[in-house]
Homo-oligomer: A and B are copies of this chain.
Amino acid sequence: MGVVTKEQLAGMSYEDFIQIFGNVIEHCAICSAAVWAKRPFYNLKELHSAICTFVDELPKIGREGILRLHPDLAGRIAELGRLTSESSKEQLSAGLNDITVEEKSVLQALNDRYKSKFGFPFVICARENKKQAILSGIAARVENDKDVELATGIAEVKKIAFYRLLDIVEHSDEEAKL
């Protein structure tokens, strides 16, 4: 269960709202800062829906920018221990801490190819995918074209946001279904 009650969610100052929901989209506090204008939200699905709508209404380069603000999976930022707490937890849940030297080398080579082709990193919801699914996912997705990968990456971002909201806002079992 989350720590913010539905009553708190419905009546929050923008300062508290940004403080609490600022990293629901990785490094994109503007998403929560913007959708505060659409308050009140009575449950996490309403808030998630508002965030998704805002993301969809960004200029295309804005959606690309969202992907560029995501860290590489098992990449340099993770090695330096400088991931956001949310990303760190997600990469851990996917088993990326147990990656072998060989797997890491494969993942990094594929991600370099992916970034070089698309101009943004491979983004996948690590809570729904374990290490092997991530490795096979990037190998398949790097063959797509850019528009497909922008749409796919953004769909993953929305799933990541949903799970992050689940960690923050109290919810019923029904509301916990994506």
Contacts and interface: CB of A to CB of B under 8 A. Distances in A.
Contacts of A30: 27-28, 30, 62, 65-66, 69
A38 interface: yes
Interface residues of A, number: 27
Nearest to A57: B59
A80 interface: no
A73 B57 CA distance: 31
Interface string A62-104: 1011101100000000000000000000000000000000000
A163 interface: no
A37 interface: yes
Interface string A36-61: 11100000000000000010011101
Nearest to A36: B68
A119 to B, nearest CB: 7
A144 to B, nearest CB: 18
